[in-house]
Amino acid sequence: MSKAFWTVFFLVGLLQACRTPFDPEVASQASDFLVVEGYLDSEGKASKLKLSRSAPLDAEGPFVAETGATVTLNSASGESYLLDEVEDGSYLFEANVSEEQSYYLEIVLRNGERYRSTEMRPIVTPDIIDADFLLDEEGVEVFITTQGDQFADDFLWTYDETWIYRPRIRVPYIYDAAIGNVRDRREGEHIDLCFKNEESPDILLETSSRFEEQVVFRQTITEIPRGDERIMERYSILISQKALEEDAVKFWEILKKNTEDIGSIFSPLPSLIGGNIFSVDGLDRPVVGQVSLGVVRQKRLYIDLVDVSPWNYLDPEFNDCVVEQEPVLSRFYDPVFVSGGVLPARAHIPEGGTMVIGYFPTSRRCGDCTLYASPIKPDFWEDE
Amino acid sequence: MRKPVLFFPILFFLLSVHAAFSQQADRITGFFPGISFLRFVDLVEEETSYRFYLKESDVKDLTVNLEARQHRLEEVLAVIFDKTDLKFSISGEQEVFISRGEKMLVAFAPDYFRQNTVGTSSLVQDEFVRNRRYTVGTPGHGAEATLSGVITSLESQKPIEGAVVYERESQRQTITNKEGRYQLTLPKGNQTLLIQNIGGYTEQRLLDIQGDAALDITIGEGIFSLSEVVVRSGALTNVSRPEMGVQSLSVQQLRKLPAVMGEVDIIRGILTMPGVNTAGEASVGFNVRGGAADQNLILLDQNTLYNPSHLFGFFSAVNSDMVQGVELYKAGIPASYGGRLSSVLQVTPKTGRQDKIGGSGGIGPLTSRLSLDGPLGENTTFVVGARLTYSDWLLDYLEERADLGASRAQFGDFNASIQQQLGEKDKLRASAYYSMDKFQFDPDTVYSYSNLNYALTWTHYFNDELEADFSLGQDKYDFAVRGEDNPLNSYLYGFDISQTFAKAVFRQEKGDRHLLSYGIHGIGYDLNPGKIDPYGAESIVIPDEVAREKGLEASVFLGDEFEVSEKLTLSGGVRLNWFGFFGPQTLPEYASGEPYFPENIIGDTSYGKGDLIKSYLGPELRLSGRYALNNWSSIKAGVNTMRQSIHLLSNSSVITPTDTWKLSDAFIRPQTGVQYALGYFRNLENNAIEFSAELYYRSMQNLLDYRSGATLVLNDRIEQDVLVTKGKAYGLELYLKKVTGKLNGSLAYTYSRSLMLTDPSERKEQVNRSDWYPSNFDQPHTANLVLNYELSRRVNTTLAGKYSTGRPVTLPVAKFEYGGSERVYFADRNSFRIPDYFRLDLSVNLEGNHKVNKIAHGSWSLGVYNILGRDNAYSVYYIPEGGKLSGYQLSIFAEPIPFVSYNFRF
């Protein structure tokens, strides 16, 4: 709706509506507080709780992780599960806990500040009925179908995308300084197959009771426009379905509203965000975070180029990439290939000859996908 | 403009002139060293009982240079007028008539003016009618006599409603009713009766009142409208009327104000008044004295308008051609009005002329208007009018230049009324109003809304003292959105309100000192707060509906305007308001003492059709008084309490059409408020300049604010999201207005605050930790300027300016990472402000010539809105850009917007 309203304002103001930067002076009031994020899986799947600090709006650089905290999940009946810090600010939970009782999370920071969550009851998220994609002129639409039940009415979907990334020019050779010569690349040296990964920032919420028999039918998860890089060869999306309790829905809705709706004129007032974590010591400083406990249902989907072709992916950034016409002869390998900026792309065997006497080079940015993505194949990845 | 000298400034007295007058009356003694004739006149009038009647322009270059000793006025004037073509005549009542060329005849037959109607358009006679003293009535006992009669228009022969009839010395006054009738009790003897037609002349009759008399007067309405004295219905009353906080605006005044896209707009006019503000430039919702926009009762005649705007708030929905004037009550609300907390905006519609069928219309860049009015037989008059947009050409034009998608907008409004005189004492009027709006921003979503109002009013005159209006009608508002983005999810969402009302108002004069008004007022509400249905065969959207709400509001009221003494007038009233919420309805029961949370529901109760679920009863008190310090200044004070049982659910900073309405029910109590006000009123320069200063303090209970993240659309348990909120508002309003002269206008300054507080006992959420926080429309400093300069009779220019403190906003102060992205953390509610607002507009109105017999009178109105091109912030917002959150301010009319429109009447 926001775009629509924008449009009318442009329109009636005879295109007079305009926007200019706005930079008010904001006191450093309450800009440093604890942020807690996590959906802990109650059936033993590895899940993480993330602790971080907020930052002033104009701060640059990454957010500071809250390290060295002691995090435990306690049940009403007294069991206690410790979450180990596996990365900076990332605490691992991997326990199959009973869904029959309630729990609370306890966080003690390095500086001694203590926080606690309100009581949580694990929600058993129903299975994903179907996840698939549709192809039309616009591109690909990934959707999900599920059904709510009496315990799980509200859903949050998140997704994680991974895709194969290929460089414009495949470079099968490598200059090996040890032998002073060019040779074939070996295992671990390949630079023509990489994987890109992105965690989606979208907040997808839906209430199943809005629909007949609580069936959420073909809920759009993401749309991939035709020609997008993601389906240059093989694409995979992992969709996570998490059922939420009502409080958590409110939290995510506020988060979503405060992020996505603020550009519109008729958008509601931004709302104060809180969550289910509070300071045990009654500190008058905010803490933001909604921790949920429940079962995460996941479904992975693969889409191959052949499924969608003609796809017409072409990144104009690399349109100047060519294999040079002029070969680099063997006596010049040393100065040319040593720096790594120029790569031997094709072997040069003169007409009638049988020996490689040089290589046609290309620049590294055209042939090395590790500049843009990871060459390591993710564990889950299944090839066709 | 011909202006009797009597009206001429006291300024002359302030200058020192060495002149002295002898004790012997009516002889002139003094040294007049080259002073202007007008000053001479003033001095003479000061010291003698002579009264001069002249044309200012006749004597403007004339100076008096002589020394007089016990001379008779005739001798002195003969010397002064020597070698000029000025002539004078002096009547037996020491009235001095000065004319050019021909000497004016002053001896008339004593009964010359006994005839009921005096009036003419001929210049000479006109002058003469004004300056001649008429003897009326037959001598009887008593010191006072009552004049009554009908004021009719010279041009249209229609009775003139709302004309102010007043006596100059005693300031006694009355206003003509819808039939043009007036009744005024005055001391016997020589009196000057002035008749002020809204937007027209001030007519004058010199009377020698002998006893009760009937006096019908025909006055020119607007042929000379370029030099008319405009809108003085509230003007003279500035000082003398008992109520305070009342602002009037005539349609003539409105027309002079610069208009956006050439659309004359009543609500933009209202916004030039002190104490009235708006949260956003393109929002028709206005805030009066720190109240929310839904706390204004907008009445078109007897009908309530729920959405007074077109195009989501760009233009007001009332066609200015169909309006006679508007009156805004910010305080001192008469007991006959009620139902809203902040103000009453009474829009008075035009009534049909009686002589012939005429009309008016206009052509602007966005809309065209046409209206017709006139007689339909001897006792029947009608008015019809329509306004339609043709904005689609604009959209098409723009679409080629900008990516506007498939935007479409249509709006229109229609008025009709018919009035039938039934004998001497009865009158029947039927009126109807319809407005519609339809928008489409993309092919998939269509928004539409409409107002439909109709009413039947019967006016009966029981006798000279008592008259009554009985009205019956219905007000409907309905809003819909149709979404067809995806056949599976296509929906039709809407809400609607229908209210049926019956009202009886009696006005009764009780002796000379009491003016009573009393009556009953009933409103039946039938409200659908929200409903969604699947649209199309494929849609799997589940129909959902918030249960329809039924309510009944009944009020009885009694008001009295009591003239305690010449100095003190009190106006008071009581309105007893009862509101009942009726079934059918199923309501949850919450555990007693627990907050309204879903988990505290312990059961539910079903109520059948017509069952009374909950009722609220409360008195409303209206009291105001005026104490006249002297003829030109007074002090007023008042206290008002109000109740409101229907609420607009809105949690955005400006009114949006998707905001739905809700009745008070078992959980949501009626909003209540009290306002205390104190004011000082003073007229300067012989009523040419009015000044007022008003102080007010308001407190409000049971206001609606919402917990964070509350969804108001299709929320059938709104009490779970409502926070019990109190409000307070206070301020000082200063207003200076010059009503006459080539240069006229007004300057208003308001200091005001409007604050809210979540009740500390509220357990759902406490906004800003239960501290007072500014409301969305808290704008402490506001100033408005309207300057109108008449270059000539046909050309006048208006400059309008507005300044206000930026409204409060809630801003992000920190960022954090969540759900895979950077998110924003917002500071306390309304703890920041958008930049201050300032705008200047200019308009020029060009009138065609004013020959009476022309087929049509045309006029052009052109101007520039926001002539400085200042990009005033409408709102501010933050969007993530390149991984960083950037703040932007959005301006709507950021450049000068020229407009031109052509208006005509015939």
- Positions in chain B whose pLDDT score sits under 50: 1-24, 108-125, 222-236, 401-405
Q: Which of residues 136-195 of A touch B (CB under 8 A)?
A: 158
Q: Find residues 682-711 of chain B whose CB sits inside 8 Å of chain A.
A: 708-709, 711
Residue contact B825–A31, C-beta within 8 A:
yes
Nearest to B695 by CA among B168, B55, B354, B245: B245
- What digits encode the pLDDT tens for the residues B345-367? 999 988 888 778 888 888 887 78
pLDDT at B407: 64
Q: Quick check: B813 and A56 CB within 8 A?
A: yes
Query: Contact at 8 Å (CB) between B622 and B335?
Result: yes
CB of A35 less than 8 A from some CB of B: yes
Cα-to-chain-centroid distance, residue B384: 22
Place of tokens 């707009």: B265
B364 vs A: CB within 8 A? no
Residues comprising chain B, all counted: 906
Verify whether the Cβ–Cβ distance B888 to A19 is below 8 Å: yes
The gap from C-alpha B564 to its chain's centroid, in whole angstroms, comes to 29
- Would you call B717 an interface residue with chain A, using a CB distance cutoff of 8 Å? no
What is the dihedral angle through the alpha carbons of B705, B709, B713, B715, rounded to the nearest 10 degrees? -80
A 345-374 residues with CB below 8 A of B? none
Contact A203 B832 (CB under 8 A): no
Token readout for A90 is: 């990332």
Residues within 8 A of A (CB atoms), B 776-805 only? 776
Per-residue pLDDT, averaged over A198-210, amounts to 85
pLDDT exceeds 60 at position A16: no
Give backbone dihedrals phi and psi of B561, rounded to 5 degrees, phi first: -105, 115
* A210 with B776: Cβ contact below 8 A: no
| A249: enclosing H helix or E strand | helix A246-260
CA B100 to CA B74: how far, in whole Å?
A: 16
Please, are residues A18 and B881 in contact by the beta-carbon 8 Å criterion? no
Q: Is residue B866 within 8 Å of residue B839, measured between CB atoms? A: yes
Put simply, the answer to whether B708 touches A201 (Cβ < 8 Å) is: no
Contact (CB<8Å) B827/A24: no
Tokens 């004069």 correspond to what residue?
A: B509
Mutate to test the interface with A, among B816, B821, B879 (most CBs of A within 10 A): B816
How many CB atoms lie under 10 A from the CB of residue B786?
Answer: 23
- Cα angle at A207 between A205 and A210, to 5 degrees? 140
Cα distance between residue B408 and residue B399, in whole Å: 10
A134 lies within 8 A of chain B by CB: no
Check residue B122 and give its pLDDT: 35
Per residue, the 3-state secondary structure of A85-133, as one string, reads EEECCEEEECCECCCCCCEEEEEECCCCCEEEECCECCECCCCEEEEEE
Q: How many CA atoms lie within 13 A of B705 on its CB side?
A: 30
B282 touches chain A (CB under 8 A): yes
Nearest to A14 among B488, B651, B897 (CB): B897
Average pLDDT across chain A, whole number: 86
Hey, are the CB atoms on A262 and B407 less than 8 Å from each other? no
Please state the length of chain A: 384
DSSP for B391-452 reads THHHHHHHHTTS--TT-EEEEEEEEEEEEEEETTTEEEEEEEEEEEEEEEEETTEEEEEEEE
State the smallest CA–CA distance between residue A213 and chain B in angstroms. 10
A266 and B280: CB-CB below 8 Å?
A: no
Calculate how close chain A gets to B406, using CA atoms only, in Å.
10
Instruction: State the SS3 of B690-709.
Output: EEEEEEEEEEEEEEEEECCC
Q: A11 vs B404: CB contact, 8 Å cut-off? A: yes
Does B852 contact chain A (CB < 8 Å)? Answer: no
Alpha carbon of residue A265 to chain centroid: 30
Exposure string for A170-194, b = 16+ CB within 10 A, e = fewer: bbbbbbbeeeeebeeeeeeebbbbb
* Nearest CA-CA distance, residue B661 and chain A, Å: 17
DSSP run (H or E) holding B129 = helix B123-131
**pLDDT tens-digit map of A324-356:** 889 998 888 888 888 888 999 999 988 888 888
Contact state of A259 with B880 under an 8 Å Cβ cutoff: yes
Distance (Å, rounded) from C-alpha B471 to C-alpha B521?
Answer: 10
Distance from CA of A278 to the nearest CA of B (A): 14
Q: Check CB contact under 8 Å for A16 and B894.
A: yes
User: Is B50 within 8 Å of chain A by CB?
Assistant: no
Shortest CA distance from B767: residue in chain A: A272
Nearest CA in chain A to B765: A272
Provide the phi-psi class of B718: left if phi over 0, else alpha when psi is between -120 and 50, else beta.
Answer: alpha
Q: Which position has the token pair 């129903």?
A: A126
| pLDDT at residue B121, rounded to an integer | 34
User: In 3D, which of B456, B402, B398 has the Cα closest to residue B432?
Assistant: B456
**Separation in Å, CA of A272 to nearest CA in chain B:** 6
Picking from A4, A58, A270, the nearest residue to B826 by CB comes out as A270
First to last CA, chain A: 41
Q: Tokens 């007043």 identify what position? A: B166
Q: pLDDT by residue (tens digit) across A62-90? A: 889 999 999 999 999 989 999 999 999 99
Contacts of B877 (CB under 8 A, 6+ apart): A262, A263, A264, A267, B887, B888, B890
Assign A253 to helix, strand or coil: helix
Q: Could you list the beta-strand ranges (E) of B645-738.
A: 646-649, 660-663, 671-684, 689-706, 722-738
- Among B284, B817, B828, B884, the strongest candidate for a mutation testing the A interface, having the largest count of A CBs within 10 A, is B817
CB pairs under 8 A between A and B: 220
From chain B, pick out residues whose CB is under 8 angstroms from the CB of A289.
818
Q: Which has the closest alpha carbon to A297: A122, A37, A93, A45?
A: A45
Contact call for B892 and A13, based on CB within 8 A: yes
Q: What is the C-alpha to C-alpha distance for residues B661 and B145, in angstroms, rounded to an integer?
A: 52
> Contact A56/B821, CB-based, under 8 Å?
no
What is the structure's pLDDT at B13? Answer: 31
CA distance B590 to B803: 48
Task: Answer whether B883 touches A (CB < 8 Å).
Answer: no
For residue B441, give the nearest of A8, A265, A268 by CB distance: A8
Higher local confidence (pLDDT), A58 or B752: B752
For residues A93 and A135, the answer to whether their CB atoms sit within 8 Å is no
Judged by a CB distance cut-off of 8 A, whether residue B658 touches chain A is: yes
Sheet harboring B875-881: ordered strands across?
A18-21, B884-891, B875-881
Q: In a 3-state reduction of DSSP, which class is residue A309?
A: coil
Residue indicated by tokens 């012997």: B24
Cis omega before residue B670 (within 30°)? no
Which residues are bridge partners to B889 per DSSP?
A20, B876
A13 confidence band (pLDDT: 50, 70, 90): very low
Given this model, what pLDDT does residue B394 score? 61
Please name every residue paired with B588 in a beta bridge, in sequence order, or none if there are none: B604
Alpha-carbon distance B102 to B92, whole Å?
19
- Chain B positions touching A217 (Cβ under 8 A) are 488, 540
Q: Which backbone phi and psi does B785 adopt, to 5 degrees?
A: -130, 130
What domains lie within chain B, and their CATH numbers?
5-100 (3.55.50.30), 117-240 (2.60.40.10), 257-905 (2.40.170.20)
pLDDT at B565: 86
Tell me which of A3, A5, A11 to substitute to probe the interface with B (most B C-beta atoms closer than 10 Å): A11
Closest CA to B176 of B190, B158, B188, B189: B158
Our CA-based measurement puts residue B826 at a distance from the nearest CA of chain A, in whole angstroms, of 6
Find the residue in A nearest to B898 (Cα). Answer: A14
Nearest Cβ partner of A11 from B407, B651, B814? B407
Q: Which of A266, A267, A291 to mutate to test the interface with B (most CBs of B within 10 A)?
A: A266
Mean pLDDT lowest among A14-23, A252-261, B282-291, B532-541: A14-23
Closest-approach residue (CA) in chain B for A38: B819
Q: Cβ contacts of residue B212 below 8 Å, gap of 6+?
A: B137, B140, B145, B146, B147
Q: How far B773 CA lies from chain A's nearest CA (Å)?
A: 14
φ, ψ for residue B304, nearest 5 deg: -90, 130
Cβ-defined contact of B656 to A210 (cutoff 8 Å): no
Q: What does the block give as tokens for B377?
A: 């037989």
A273 touches chain B (CB under 8 A): yes
> Under 8 Å CB-to-CB from B510, ≥6 apart: which residues?
B465, B516
What is the pTM (predicted TM-score) of this model?
A: 0.68
